[in-house]
Amino acid sequence: MANTIGSLITGQVIQLLTGASGVNSYLDGSAQDNGQPLNSLNAAQVRGQNVAPDIADKSNTIQYPAMNVYCEKIVNSLAEKFRTFSGNVHTVVELRHSQDRLDGLQDALESYTDAIMQVLNANRGDWGSGLFYCGEYQVLFGAVKHGGKNFLQMAKISFEIGVSRS
């Protein structure tokens, strides 16, 4: 059951992020401080897995910016006593951005993160199939590290999906 719920929610979040009203619709018209437009994301840049940046870089298939969507924790609190699953699924969208120069890296990462937050804000409420998103999220920005194209920075967007399934 837990595997099914985790996969269902990961797929649903990926569909929201990559759909017609997803991240790319909020990136249109956005530009970095240096005037360069932000690149749209393609399907290969959005993955449903939790993988460390150093391992992802060794796969040679990573394109930046990259989004990894995964379930961090599944809690069956049995809020509804006669349901098979009634609780919360802690979900994460981990955004990684890399470029060859340090200038503008954080600004670009923040712009992509803002687009993800706008998608989440636009999709509050009932997602169907017993899934509900109340609109709360938390964003953590990591420090710039060596990796990717030279410099790599990550943002971790965490939120909960309420689940009620028989």
- pLDDT > 80? residue 36: no
Q: What is the CATH number of the domain that holds 113?
A: 3.30.2000
- pLDDT > 70? residue 35: no
Instruction: List, in sequence order, the alpha helices (H) in 19-64.
Output: 23-27, 53-58
What is the SS3 assignment for 65? coil
Please report, rounded to a whole number, the percentage of residues in the chain having pLDDT higher than 70.
92
**Residue 130 buriedness (CB in 10 A; 0-12 / 13-18 / 19+):** middle
Q: In this predicted model, which residue has the larger pLDDT, 57 or 50? A: 50
Other beta carbons within 10 Å of 141 = 14
Please report, rounded to a whole number, the percentage of residues in the chain having pLDDT higher than 90.
57
Q: Where are the beta strands (DSSP E) in the chain?
A: 46-47, 66-75, 85-99, 125-128, 131-133, 137-141, 145-147, 150-165
Least confident of 2-6, 44-48, 80-84: 2-6
Residue numbers of the domain that contains 40: 2-165
pTM: 0.89
Q: Using pLDDT thresholds of 50, 70 and 90, give the confidence band for residue 30.
A: low
- Beta carbons of 111 and 132 less than 8 angstroms apart: no
Cα 41 to Cα 68: distance, rounded to the nearest angstrom: 12
Q: How many domains is the chain partitioned into structurally?
A: 1
What's the pLDDT at 119?
A: 95
Instruction: Report the chain's mean pLDDT, rounded to a whole number.
Output: 88
